Structure 1
Amino acid sequence: MEWFPEHVIDREEECNPPGTVVVDVNIHSGEIVSIITVEDTSYTSLMEFQSFEEMVSQIETITDLTYGAHFKLKEEKDQTYRFQAYLDKILSPIGEIEVRLDENGRLLSYLKYGDFPSPSSHSQRSLLTKEECMGIIQQQIRLIHIPSLEEEAHILVYGLEEIYIVGEDRFLRPYNIVQHNGTIVDVHQVLTWDTPLQVPFEQGNVFFQDNISLDEVKQKATHPDLLPISDEQKQLCIAAVTDCLRQEFPNDSGKWEFARIERHNGYIHGILHPLASHDPHSVFKTKCTMIVNPETNKVMTYINNEVLMAPFKEFAAAPKAVVTKAEAREKLLSRIELKPCHIFNEEKGQYVLASLLDCDYGVHAVTGELLRLADI
């Protein structure tokens, strides 16, 4: 919905004049999810706040949430207020609200996204301490090669691979899997074939569209990226990817591992790793992504990141490690963090309390120096 300033009589077609208020509403719940003033100009006093409490009260009215129970302020800077979901007495980025005001307290923008679950809708669990996670910490410390652009060399570093730890049972969830919002199915299959395909591979056009029809909205249709992947569709995808390899890499039978299938932007992505160039210590993993049309089960195109990593192959190789893994762990312990957070449990259909095991530092495997990984 759009509201124009009262003084605007004529306007250019398809153009909103400064001060226009654009409001997006959830068609199912009727809740306002965003308010934007064009060119950060506000002419109405209906959205003017004299105090922080008045602004929070308006947010509570719009969202039907309660401050201090469902959301709390995370930070305020230059008249921009960022709120996050508040669950188990911790702030959580599973839900966020941002409010921007001008110098007079008038609303410039409002944005709400994510989830703000009630305390009764999640699983209450206690958090583990760092001492209780020593075995997991030891397991997650990796010896990795990091290419340094400044030195044009690979640096050998002990670092911590981030992971989510859930509850007293210490259930582990990989960081990259939790960050992906679509359906994922593990495959872990080496692809082999007896004969190549003589038919040339035909590149298809891929259109990443995120538009839905009004009928789909009314029917509350599931987003394509959240649809399940059946065993039949999994096998069809494996067959399609294998055929593409037989066309494009006919001599590579047994040289590729099909790692997993992911849904992205309405397509199915097959993630492959070449076995020959697989370096367990490399921070960057060579992979080939096959983009499959879920309707035709044909590979439309593929993306090989080996080209992007080619410059690193010219860098000087890293020397052998002098520091042991145990020594590196002792140096990293004080820098390792267990950050409380919430992740969605698909089986239970609710958010559960978890800890993100993370560390911004690494240990140089030759000199033993403690390094900030972002500075390498």
Structure 2
Amino acid sequence: MNANIQQLIDQTRMKFGLDHYHLKRHGFYRYVNMFNETIYKLNMEWFPPYETEPEVDDLNPDGTAVIEVNLNTGQVESAVFVMGKTYAKKGVQFDNAHPNEVIKWIEQETNLIYGEHFHLHKEKEGELLFEEKMDDVPVTPSGMIEVKWDEHGQLIYFIHHGPFLAKKMLRAEKYSLFIEMIESLAQQQVQRVEWPSFEQNKIRPVYALEEVYIKNDGTGTIPFEDTIQEHHCFNINKFIEWEVPISEPFVGKELNIQEDISADQAFSCEPSPDTMPISEEEKDKCLKAVQIFLRQEYPNDTGKWILLSLHRDHGYIHATVKANTQEKSVLTGKIMIFIDAYTFEAVNYIDRQQMFKMCGMLDELQSPDKITLSKEEAFEKLREYLELTPIYVFDFAQKQYVLCGKLDCHYGVDAASGEVIPLQDI
């Protein structure tokens, strides 16, 4: 066995008291983070004493320790004991289960400092949840740490998610926004959405505010989608049209996202092919693949679909396609097409509307009632429910976290009845 792997295995066994456990499986996987960096992890599945095989349907037996080490940092990023049961006799233990003791252990494991990089967010019996903040202001994308222990104080769950880089990549400034400054922008963010109400068995037309981050310096906004979507994607926004459909139906193939990663690749942190930008030539080939797919699967829909973007993921290029419609709806058609990154052929797809139909979610939903309220009238009803709170948002153009105001509203207005309703109740 590779000496580096053996060293990590031995360290893990000692750190978590797995002397009586046996390592059943281990392997590498990688992904590309928001900074387009390739992150490698070693995944280990440690079976408890006397257990040799999964019990049912390949499920790991209770007490199995599933542990992941980030090879870029050398740190353990997760340690989960299946069903909250541990047989580790000399594992991580918090004698008095006091938050300060847990915090010290987290600082030791992560090299992060409590109060600077992470802050207590929620506390329950046997559980602590921490989140990334700067000067008590939340950040997004945010790091998160969660720790759980059993009645004996033994660790049964640890997750360390996110790079916690806000402190290093922060543009500090004084928050200066208030609601009255941005009312005109807030009104622009109000949109009418066709919302399925399964309790009322109908589609409800609802005016709701589209969440947005407003830069503190007044230079513009950062859409909510920009903080959660793939940031190394190639934006297209092109209508897909054709004259002749293809009669031969599309036949999908099974996706294979499992990569055979060698120890040399993992420990050298070799860049993943997914970090490579999509060239113009590749873009053109993907456009052709999308068109061929639509001609086969949706032969009568020429001009009805827009290719929004392309991005790489596990050996495929994902093409995001959306229905061309003026109406905003939770049920608006959206397709993810998986294109082989080497042959540039569509191999499979996910159709959101088809998934809704397969689940029976669209059966017998009545059409929306007649609209009686204008967007301006709806905004007046929502005005008192607007929320503007400070938050640091990563600006990918500036490559740093910048102070913003998060404009949000948890209420909507029924466009037919004029009723103000909590969005969670729809």
Percent identity for Structure 1 against Structure 2: 32
In structure 2, which of residues 190, 193, 207 is the aligned counterpart of residue 144 of structure 1? 193
Shift of 1:300: 0.6
Distance 1:247 1:28, change over 3 A: closer
Residue 26 (structure 1) aligns with: 70
Residue 214 (structure 1) aligns with: 263
Residue 52 (structure 1) aligns with: 99
Does structure 1 residue 40 correspond to structure 2 residue 85?
yes
Residue 171 (structure 1) aligns with: 220
Residue 270 (structure 1) aligns with: 319
Does structure 1 residue 84 correspond to structure 2 residue 128?
no
Residue 96 (structure 1) aligns with: 144
The separation in 2 between residues aligned to 1:118 and 1:179, in whole angstroms, is 16
For 1:75, give the aligned amino acid.
K
Which consecutive residues of structure 1, in runs of 5 or more, have no partner in the other structure? none
Does structure 1 residue 284 correspond to structure 2 residue 303?
no
Distance 1:23 1:248, change over 3 A: closer
For 2:301, give the aligned amino acid.
D
The separation in 1 between residues aligned to 2:200 and 2:240, in whole angstroms, is 38
The separation in 1 between residues aligned to 2:258 and 2:216, in whole angstroms, is 38
Shift of 1:108: 2.3
In structure 1, which of residues 116, 127, 136 is the aligned counterpart of residue 164 of structure 2? 116
Q: Which runs of 4 or more aligned residues in structure 1 lie more than 6 Å from their structure 2 counterparts after TM superposition? A: 7-10, 15-20
For 2:89, give the aligned amino acid.
Y
The separation in 2 between residues aligned to 1:169 and 1:233, in whole angstroms, is 38
Shift of 1:25: 2.8
- Deviations along 1:71-100, whole A, 9 cap, x unmatched? 111111121001111224324461111111
For 1:73, give the aligned amino acid.
L
SS of equivalent residue, structure 2 residue 296: helix
Residue 50 (structure 2) aligns with: 11
For 1:146, give the aligned amino acid.
W
Distance 1:11 1:126, change over 3 A: same
For 2:85, give the aligned amino acid.
D
SS of equivalent residue, structure 2 residue 331: coil
The separation in 1 between residues aligned to 2:165 and 2:197, in whole angstroms, is 43
Distance 1:295 1:351, change over 3 A: farther
What is the count of residue pairs matched by the alignment? 374
Distance 1:233 1:126, change over 3 A: farther
Distance 1:296 1:77, change over 3 A: same
SS of equivalent residue, structure 1 residue 245: helix
SS of equivalent residue, structure 1 residue 137: helix
**Contact 1:291 1:302 (C-alpha < 8 Å) held by counterparts:** yes
**Contact 1:49 1:55 (C-alpha < 8 Å) held by counterparts:** no
Distance 1:224 1:161, change over 3 A: farther
Does structure 1 residue 229 correspond to structure 2 residue 278?
yes
SS of equivalent residue, structure 1 residue 44: coil
**Contact 1:183 1:225 (C-alpha < 8 Å) held by counterparts:** no
TM-score (norm 1): 0.86
Shift of 1:210: 6.3
Deviates more, 1:125-134 or 1:193-202: 193-202
The separation in 2 between residues aligned to 1:45 and 1:209, in whole angstroms, is 32
For 1:119, give the aligned amino acid.
K
For 1:40, give the aligned amino acid.
K
Shift of 1:370: 1.1
**Contact 1:73 1:84 (C-alpha < 8 Å) held by counterparts:** yes
The separation in 1 between residues aligned to 2:200 and 2:21, in whole angstroms, is 59
Distance 1:215 1:154, change over 3 A: same
Deviates more, 1:91-100 or 1:121-130: 121-130
The separation in 2 between residues aligned to 1:268 and 1:130, in whole angstroms, is 41
Distance 1:295 1:68, change over 3 A: same
Which consecutive residues of structure 2, in runs of 5 or more, have no partner in the other structure? 1-8, 23-48, 55-59
The separation in 1 between residues aligned to 2:74 and 2:189, in whole angstroms, is 45
Residue 353 (structure 2) aligns with: 306
Distance 1:283 1:24, change over 3 A: closer
- Deviations along 1:259-312, whole A, 9 cap, x unmatched? 22233444222222333xx24142321123321111111111233333345564
Residue 184 (structure 1) aligns with: 233
**Contact 2:139 2:393 (C-alpha < 8 Å) held by counterparts:** no
Residue 338 (structure 1) aligns with: 388
Distance 1:119 1:271, change over 3 A: closer
**Contact 1:286 1:306 (C-alpha < 8 Å) held by counterparts:** yes
For 1:282, give the aligned amino acid.
S
Residue 365 (structure 1) aligns with: 415
**Contact 2:139 2:166 (C-alpha < 8 Å) held by counterparts:** no
The separation in 2 between residues aligned to 1:325 and 1:56, in whole angstroms, is 49
The separation in 2 between residues aligned to 1:274 and 1:336, in whole angstroms, is 30
Does structure 1 residue 159 correspond to structure 2 residue 208?
yes
The separation in 2 between residues aligned to 1:262 and 1:7, in whole angstroms, is 44
The separation in 2 between residues aligned to 1:83 and 1:28, in whole angstroms, is 23
The separation in 2 between residues aligned to 1:69 and 1:312, in whole angstroms, is 48
Distance 1:115 1:199, change over 3 A: same
For 1:366, give the aligned amino acid.
A
